Structure 1
Amino acid sequence: MIDLLRLKQVMFILAAAMTCTVSVSTEAGQVVVRKSSEAFNAFAVRDQVLREHEWREALRMQQQINILQSLPVGCIPMVRPYAYYSCGGNFYRPYQYQNKELYIQIDPLDSESPSLHK
């Protein structure tokens, strides 16, 4: 009796697992069907996919960098170990880009660094 009950439980678990694996949908991306008589350059497709991947990575990296065109009010200029600004718990380093000064957020530095206004 116990073996029959255990067998029913195992069968139920297997049936549930099979239902879950069958019902999961997957996407393979775009599928293109071509005639064999049409010209096809696999290397050009590879290069295009690589360029698209690099572009997506560049956008992802850009989203992680906080860049300001001007500093918030009340920033304190710091000089050591290099010139940067302390702005209410955030720190920005000046950066020249296309003849403009931008400010890139950096990790917090040693709190003992002297400021220009001390």
Structure 2
Amino acid sequence: MVNCFQVLMIALLISISFFATAGKVVVRKTSEPFDAFAIRDQVQQDHQWQQMLKMQQQINILQALPNGCLLFAAPYRYFNCAGNSYRPYSYQNQEVFIQIDPPVAKQ
């Protein structure tokens, strides 16, 4: 018969094993040439590429609102689109939309 302590310990061991996973491990022979600086540079380039992709996704979101947005005038002009709030801004003679926290109504 399994008691609560045993179930708790099993759950704890399982959760710890999820956190104990390592990243990519590469094994190489010591006779093979190895350039740590080239690997560092590649990792930096990959990180920059990921950041550029994130920024591009944000720009696409900001340039147009989804269909079905409602305009609200108080406490300032903003749009509510399926639970997300956007505030219009003028940028380089274009109206863009910045996602904001939902405004709090004054009581």
TM > 0.5 fold call? no
- Return the TM-score normalized by structure 2: 0.44
Q: TM-score when scaled to structure 1? A: 0.41
